[in-house]
Structure 1
């Protein structure tokens, strides 16, 4: 039994959503079951919902550098409230809650050689005091017993926010944003992030890793933004 389990038994916490006591995790069993789990038929490469479960038109037309995506939840209520509170208001207790969900979602997936969290530019880290993707990844790494590489990849361009930009503009915005100085030759790497919207950031980071010699890059995201109407 690890320290996390001992503490959970001695000091029950409150569910992040309903406030009831829980020893099993950050959510009580009822709230955990009610979360918007991302379970529909989906494109295996980018996890966007498609009825056939085949590779979507977007990935066929513009193949991303990453090989597949696993998304735990849909970016809908209450994720659209929780994640901004983590990123912009420093509510760090949300990170292990997302880590718990993500670890559940990827438990049966092929395990990577290591995990890399989506890097933030140093200026953003100074402003926030933490990297939210790293906080989520730390919890997943602990739960799955995987190494978390926090040194190999850096964000070297402080790109403007992606919100409101169309797909091609997002891609242009991110060109040359990342660098990889670590030895990733021949490795299968899982990239961890909070939300995948168009996947442009993950695509650029995956391309950087592939150029550095990574064999395979998988995206592990806590939430997947859904197309309008889904």
Structure 2
């Protein structure tokens, strides 16, 4: 049974209502609110750098940028490119609170990450409390919850925190993004963290925010941090 109020009745409603593609409104299929045509059009990120998930002509252990650097993460998996129809579904969740879109993306995430190296726990990248108050929910957490359940991973929500508010990264170039998030994350008091964690966010662009959070986890004693994201911009 769902751990949310009304979860049973929501699940019952989904079971009784016909599946409907959230991208084009055609009938859904295979247990998803996604039609076969839109499923075939999903922009899977199968060919990428294994260290930062940058799309490449062919899969590689490291891209040119990662070959000349020592990023704090051991590996990165971006399930999709940030392209249609995933980008549309993501915007519906992030800016309009569309939990049906979030549920579908969570199902696709579980499918795409089923073969990833399994961490001991999943850590969602947190919003600063001021941004959380403004938006009312955390889209990364809304995706991480069903993903953790599907992969049977503990969800460590509340141990990684943003110690200060930062400017929106979308307005900044790559160098400014790194400066903007430097020292922005902190680890809150609690039991020792597992040795291997996956840090989850919805979208990765340059990776500056995720890498800064991964660095905070490494400094707290985590031996291996993998980056998992819905989509790579």
What TM-score comes out, normalization by structure 1 length? 0.89
Distance in 2, matches of 1:134 and 1:186, equals: 19
Select the residue among 118, 132, 137 that pairs with 1:111. Answer: 118
Equivalence for 1:86: 93
1:46-65 equivalent positions in 2, closer than 5 A? 46-51=52-57, 53-65=60-72
Q: Does 1:16 align with 2:16?
A: no
Please show how residues 81-230 of structure 1 align to structure 2 within 5 Å.
81-181=88-188, 182-225=190-233
Other structure's SS at 1:204 match: helix
Q: Secondary structure at the match of 2:171?
A: coil
2-structure distance, mates of 1:163, 1:46: 19
Deviation track 1:144-173 (CA, whole Å, cap 9, x = no partner) reads 111111121111111001113222211110
Of the structure 1 ranges 149-158 and 199-208, higher mean CA displacement relative to structure 2 is found in 149-158
Q: 2:49 aligns with which of 43, 68, 72?
A: 43
Give the aligned CA root-mean-square deviation in angstroms. 2.2
Going from structure 1 to structure 2, the CA distance change for 1:8 and 1:93 (only over 3 Å counts) comes to closer
Structure 1 residues not aligned, in runs of 5+: 226-230
* Distance change in 2, residues 1:196/1:77 (3 Å): same
Aligned residues: 224
- TM-score scaled by structure 2? 0.88
- SS of alignment partner, residue 57 of structure 2: coil
**Contact 1:195/1:221 (<8 A) preserved:** yes
